[in-house]
Homo-oligomer: A and B are copies of this chain.
Amino acid sequence: MHVHAFIQEMECLAPPELAEDFDAEKIGLVIEGRVDISRVCCALDATPYVVKKAVLASADMLVVHHTPLWTPITAITGRVAGLMRALLSSDMNLYVMHTNFDRASEGVNDALAELLSLKDISPMSIGCIGSCTLSPVEISQRLGGNCRLWGKVKKIRRLALVAGSGFDPAFLEEAKALGADTFLSAEMKHSVARTAPLPCIEATHYALEAPAMQRLSTRMGWQYIDDPPALQIIP
């Protein structure tokens, strides 16, 4: 497939116009390689490990959620140089879907809702709310375990979720106003926890977003490359 056709297909899956303004110039074809695309790899982040695996797989295209060029650069040195050298010298393309994929149908939040078997789902300004029959322990286990619970949960009926870093006071208020009794996201801050109007389950960013990339890979026939952060609880 020509890279233009591939891009068109991606833009159907995750329309660029759904993205937040801060994603401008940071999504789409972020590194341009060869024009014929047959082998595609997919991952959450373009880590050195992920790029090495994609090169070994002779991928023509690597699709990720987080761009490795978030901060605009005028020099290619250090860690970035190694990554760019690996990608450019193998003539691989790098394609990024970020907040446009968060919001897309069958995108990051939808995949998470499906993983947690939510029903009667209604959207929020970001993420969604749905009826949940799982306990906190079951939610944690579906997300790889070791979640953190802020506040006290009796029984979850309506769960609000925002994949990624979504513990924003405005989103918490919105979720509460819409009837949620528990809020699931990642990267809780102390100042937010202190005034949270709902109990909060904190998973990792990776645990919440990687499932969407994995499901997309399966659906598209791509090779998914898993690279979770090394994380453990110290008792």
CB neighbours (8 Å) of A66 from chain B are: 191
Assess the B69–A230 pair: CB atoms within 8 A.
no
> What separation, in Å, do the CA atoms of A30 and B76 have in the docked complex?
6
SS class, residues of chain A in contact with chain B: mixed
Residue of B at shortest CB range from A85?
Answer: B88
Residue of B at shortest CB range from A193?
Answer: B229
Answer whether residue A206 sits at the interface, using C-beta atoms and an 8 A cutoff: yes
Copies of this chain, whole number: 6
Assess the A29–B77 pair: CB atoms within 8 A.
yes
Contact string against B for A residues 53-67, beta-carbon threshold 8 Å, 1 for contact and 0 otherwise: 000000000000011
Chain A residues proximal to chain B, CB less than 8 Å: 25-26, 28-33, 45, 47, 66-67, 69-79, 81, 84-85, 88-89, 91, 136-137, 139-141, 145-152, 165, 186-191, 193-195, 201, 204-206, 229-235
